Structure 1
Amino acid sequence: MPIEIVAKLYRSWSRFVLGKRTISLSFASASLRWSEERRIVHTSNSIVETTVHVDPYSYSLADFPAIVETREGIYILVYDGLFIPPLYEGGVFRVRGIMSKVSTSKGDIDALVVGIREALTFVEPLRAR
């Protein structure tokens, strides 16, 4: 991933020094993590790049893998925690991911999978909310 995108993803509040301690924050939800895995991901060979709008403070980003719905109706399934803080803040993003179908307890959804080794995928912040 280009260093320019990594620089846009970095949030100073997610890792900082307090006194002599370095502190890293990560999103987690005990209620989401204690429940059994509810998703099966069926990937394709299709790489999709698109621009999406994400509303801030999505509770579903505290799960692993995190999932967030965009205003365009596209879901993003996130395996890399580097992408979570900017998505949590919301805004406009360029997303490059593997088009997949995710089977959930509520039915199937189409999602772009990001943060995996199988392909160059990323979430690039374009504009804050």
Structure 2
Amino acid sequence: MLSASVSTPHPGMALLPMHSDGDSHWSSQWDSELDSQLSSLDSRSDMREFEGPSVDDVLLITHRNGRICPTSVHWWRIFESLPDRPAKLKRPLEGREWITTGTLGKRMALREQVEWAASVGALGLLRDKLAALPEAAWHHRGE
């Protein structure tokens, strides 16, 4: 004789019909679908997408292909588009400061802006703008 009972495998999960005689068709179907969905997930990248980018994710964009920082004109365009910039935030380098500042100084200035964007919830916006720059809009090692 078949009798159905309801079981909750984990708090917060949906109630699943289970058959007391061992017929677990419904639960097997649910398990199969869940396994399929879980196996298609890359937990790190999907969670990051849900949570937004990390500082490291954005810094990877800025270092790809020997990049140092955006060129001055492009850097200023991005900087000016960021919301609520505090006066003390390091500004993009330009003019004489661009010429006299080495690779490390340029990277540190950009990193400061990335970390600031993360602290105010603007990291996704900054990441999108940096990722959209064409390669020619970047200053590279050796230039």
In the superposition, the TM-score normalised over structure 2's length comes to 0.22
Bigger proportion of residues as strand: 1
**Higher Cα Rg: structure 1 or 2?**
2
| TM-score normalized by the length of structure 1 | 0.24
